Chain A
């Protein structure tokens, strides 16, 4: 959305949305829909990530009055998305896992793969994924936030609703458990 050709900042869109305007909020949705759907997906892979993300956006709109002006919108939104996805995971009564699938085709922007991706064969990715899915939810969430969603430590803390210091310690322990899991899945693991 632009006004006289100028793209609006998040803060301006949020202020208008707080006044009850819907279309500025739709623009915010467009900006963050990808990461929102991904967040819902990594937390509840078995569920309908798109529906969970949409519901989270609706709840976020209703909660805009409590949004702290000037703070970043993305982690605030992702916390609502994460809560929504967790609730759905709990309601489903099953543990999400093994639903993350390794892409068969490279993404268009991966036309020039990095050296790392070139050597990371699909079999090795499958091993890593299986090990990750073997972790408990807390571990998988913090790893997913940092490495799959590529959130900063601060964003991860807000999105997952934990103190920043806890992100570090939880991530450290999660990686350690992942290494153990990899060791048990395949002697030698991948890169430990």
Chain B
């Protein structure tokens, strides 16, 4: 039976009120508030392996907050346990690969990636030993072996493999690089992004060999993470293109390419 009398009038009044509609960015602002409060549960729950003892965790959180605050105004971020992606250009960072970031003695002719500040150049057959872990490579014969391998000891032995542009590997934002595969010993925990907040960057959840991965495209972005050895890594290197991020549970991989999402996934699924 429909309501009558006063009850019907109240229902009608409720439908006639000048309700304020939430702003279009309401939900993303909530997310932004959440990621800017890293001390709240369940944000850091179960991260003891990564963050260590509570006191140390608090220090790291404080560092994380400082890094966030140091980001250029307007940059917005999304957080992941153990990994945070910040969308925007880091404060003070050059919008383009900087020669000052290059390793001493390296030049643009020093091979792909030489101007990206990827660390020290290491012979391909020695990279596993230098890194202390097995460095994976795409097994797709069309991709072939990388031309250069780099290790950044300042970033917890982050390893980067670089390929020159070629017909099947079009140039990235760095014209000397056709493909860049970075690997580090740090976690990319469960995170599920459909889009970035308040910026031109999008983060699309995808899968690599059945596990969660993220296709990051659009505006420049950088991130920081806590490596397994506890080192806090502020990776503000400018990315050279859209990127695929995935993890095997121990190591995290970032593949940067101009080939697009699907090709990136195919390459990622071939690494061994």
B190 touches A19 (CB 8 A): yes
Q: Give the shortest distance, in Å, between A8 (CB) and chain B (any CB).
A: 10
- Taking A129-B13, A147-B13 as contacts, is the C-beta distance between A37 and B22 under 8 angstroms? yes
A147 cross-chain contacts in B, Cβ below 8 A: 7, 10-11, 13-14
B109 contacts the other chain (CB 8 A)? no
B5 — nearest CB in chain A belongs to which residue? A191
- Central interface residue in B22, B23, B35, B195, by most chain A CB within 10 Å: B22
B192 touches A143 (CB 8 A): no
A53 contacts the other chain (CB 8 A)? yes
The CA-CA distance from A147 to B12 in the complex, in Å, is 8
B265 contacts the other chain (CB 8 A)? no
B33 contacts the other chain (CB 8 A)? yes
B8 touches A191 (CB 8 A): yes
The CA-CA distance from A178 to B9 in the complex, in Å, is 12
A150 contacts the other chain (CB 8 A)? yes
B10 touches A128 (CB 8 A): yes
Partner of B26, one of A29, A128, A150: A29
B12 touches A117 (CB 8 A): yes
B205 cross-chain contacts in A, Cβ below 8 A: 3, 23
B29 cross-chain contacts in A, Cβ below 8 A: 54
B12 touches A16 (CB 8 A): no
- Taking A16-B192, A50-B22 as contacts, is the C-beta distance between A117 and B33 under 8 angstroms? no
A34 touches B8 (CB 8 A): no
- Interface flags for B14-25 (1: CB within 8 Å of A; 0: not) read 111111111100
B43 cross-chain contacts in A, Cβ below 8 A: 20, 62
B219 contacts the other chain (CB 8 A)? no
A49 touches B20 (CB 8 A): yes
- Central interface residue in B5, B14, B37, by most chain A CB within 10 Å: B14
B78 contacts the other chain (CB 8 A)? yes
A53 touches B22 (CB 8 A): yes
Residues of chain A from 20 to 69 with CB closer than 8 A to chain B in the complex: 20-27, 29-30, 33-34, 36-38, 41, 49-50, 53-55, 57-58, 61-62, 64-65
B6 touches A125 (CB 8 A): no
B48 cross-chain contacts in A, Cβ below 8 A: none
Interface residues on B, range: 35 or more
Residues of chain B from 170 to 209 with CB closer than 8 A to chain A in the complex: 189-195, 197, 203, 205
A9 contacts the other chain (CB 8 A)? no
A123 contacts the other chain (CB 8 A)? no
Q: Tell me the dominant secondary structure on chain B's binding face.
A: mixed
Q: Give the shortest distance, in Å, between B197 (CB) and chain A (any CB).
A: 8
B79 cross-chain contacts in A, Cβ below 8 A: 22
The CA-CA distance from A30 to B231 in the complex, in Å, is 36
B214 — nearest CB in chain A belongs to which residue? A23
B11 cross-chain contacts in A, Cβ below 8 A: 116, 147, 150
- Central interface residue in B13, B28, B41, B189, by most chain A CB within 10 Å: B13
Q: Give the shortest distance, in Å, between A140 (CB) and chain B (any CB).
A: 11
A107 contacts the other chain (CB 8 A)? yes
The CA-CA distance from A21 to B214 in the complex, in Å, is 13
A179 — nearest CB in chain B belongs to which residue? B6
A58 touches B30 (CB 8 A): yes
Residues of chain A from 102 to 138 with CB closer than 8 A to chain B in the complex: 102-104, 106-107, 110, 114, 116-117, 120, 124-125, 128-129, 132
Q: Give the shortest distance, in Å, between A60 (CB) and chain B (any CB).
A: 9
Q: Give the shortest distance, in Å, between B267 (CB) and chain A (any CB).
A: 22
A31 — nearest CB in chain B belongs to which residue? B27
A120 touches B45 (CB 8 A): no
- Taking A20-B45, A26-B28 as contacts, is the C-beta distance between A34 and B21 under 8 angstroms? yes
B90 contacts the other chain (CB 8 A)? no
The CA-CA distance from A22 to B80 in the complex, in Å, is 8
The CA-CA distance from A124 to B8 in the complex, in Å, is 13
A1 contacts the other chain (CB 8 A)? yes
Chain B residues at the A interface, C-beta cutoff of 8 Å: 4-23, 26-31, 33-35, 37, 40-43, 45, 78-81, 189-195, 197, 203, 205
Q: Show 10 A/B contacts (Cβ-Cβ < 8 Å), sorted by A.
A: A20-B80, A22-B34, A26-B30, A30-B26, A30-B27, A37-B20, A61-B40, A116-B11, A148-B10, A190-B9
Q: Contacts A22-B31, A103-B17 given; 14 further ones with Cβ under 8 A?
A: A22-B193, A23-B203, A33-B22, A37-B20, A50-B22, A58-B33, A61-B34, A62-B41, A116-B9, A120-B12, A125-B12, A147-B10, A190-B9, A192-B5
